[in-house]
Amino acid sequence: MVKRLIVIAYLFLLVAWPLFLVGQNTFEGGLDNLRGIVEDPDVVHALRLSLMVAVIAVVINTVFGVGVSLLLVRYEFPGKRLLSALLDVPLSVSPVVVGLSLVLVYGGRDGWFGPALEGAGFQVVFATPGIVMATAFVALPLVIREVVPVLEEVGDEQEQAARSLGANAAQTFWRITLPAIKWGVTYGVVLSLARSLGEFGAVKVVSGNVLGETRTATLVVEEKYLNFDKGGAYAAAFLLALVAVAAIVVVSVLRPRDQS
């Protein structure tokens, strides 16, 4: 009982109360703060950009993540443990470092790879592709870490049975493997989406933070906050948090209880 109280108090003080205050501050003057945000075309653009970037990054990470998970669980190859350890790097490295390293490689002026790409008419840094890359980088392990344990648990007997019944690799994946891991994938997607929407540090470095072009929603929050537009900052922050929390709540409600 005491232990439970401590845990609840800890979570309340660290997570629930601060988040609640963001919401409270957002609605302090009624709907004025929110109206101010959604009527500002630059902010709307930023929200759209954030959403688009998040969706693209999630699609990339889902396809890549499921592929890598299958590779890690179903196949034996030299360097497998090293690969598995490397996949956690994006979670442990600071997003600012991620941003800087991307600029070093893809920077348009003196990046390792950037000038060549830019010469071919493809700008990465200070443009949407860079933001997508930075976002995909930081959210990379989330799908994998959700899917790997599920794949290990279901085992490969169902897949072998499908093969012996005449299914080829693609049919086996779509009809047997994917339905078996769908909740792992869904949870990974939701976590990735929430993480991608909220990415700040890496995006700040690679985006260039150009108003109405490469400024994302998290950058708007910072900008508004620094410019003493606290109401606007809270409103934008509230919208970001709302999407992330809603996604997680929806999934935990939908998810069947026996497949924890």
Partner 1 sequence: MSIEISNVSKRFGSFVALDDVSVSIPSGQLTALLGPSGGGKSTLLRIIAGLERADAGRVRIEGVDATGLPPQKRNVGFVFQHYAAFKHMSVRRNVAFGLEIRRRPKAEIRERVDELLRLVHLEQFGDRLPAQLSGGQRQRMALARALAVEPTVLLLDEPFGALDAKVRKELRDWLRRLHDEVHVTTVFVTHDQEEALEVADEIVVINDGRVEQIGTPDELYDAPANDFVMRFLGPVTQLGERLVRPHDLVIDTGEPGLDGVTGRVTRITRIGFEIRVEVTAGDQVVVVTLTRTRFRALDVQEGSTVNVRLAPEALAAALEA
Residues that bind partner 1 (CB under 8 A): 154, 157-158, 160-168, 171, 175-176, 179-180
Identity of the amino acid at 167: A
Identity of the amino acid at 224: K
49 neighbors 129 (Cβ within 8 angstroms): no
Minimum distance from CB of 190 to partner 1 (Å)? 20
CA distance 127 to 48: 15
Q: Whose Cβ is closer to partner 1: residue 34's or residue 162's?
A: 162
- Beta-carbon contacts of residue 245 (< 8 Å; ≥ 6 apart): 19
Q: Whose Cβ is closer to partner 1: residue 5's or residue 170's?
A: 170
Minimum distance from CB of 258 to partner 1 (Å)? 9
Q: Whose Cβ is closer to partner 1: residue 156's or residue 229's?
A: 156
The alpha carbon of residue 105 and the mean position of all alpha carbons in its chain are separated, in whole angstroms, by 22
- Beta-carbon contacts of residue 132 (< 8 Å; ≥ 6 apart): 53, 56, 57, 60
Radius of gyration of the CA atoms of the chain, in A: 21
Minimum distance from CB of 176 to partner 1 (Å)? 6
Q: Whose Cβ is closer to partner 1: residue 39's or residue 157's?
A: 157
Consecutive H or E run containing 164: helix 157-164
The two tokens of residue 50 are 């954030």
DSSP at 112 = S
Minimum distance from CB of 165 to partner 1 (Å)? 4
CA distance 73 to 148: 7
Q: Whose Cβ is closer to partner 1: residue 160's or residue 227's?
A: 160
Q: Whose Cβ is closer to partner 1: residue 59's or residue 154's?
A: 154
CA distance 202 to 214: 13
Minimum distance from CB of 253 to partner 1 (Å)? 20
Minimum distance from CB of 182 to partner 1 (Å)? 8
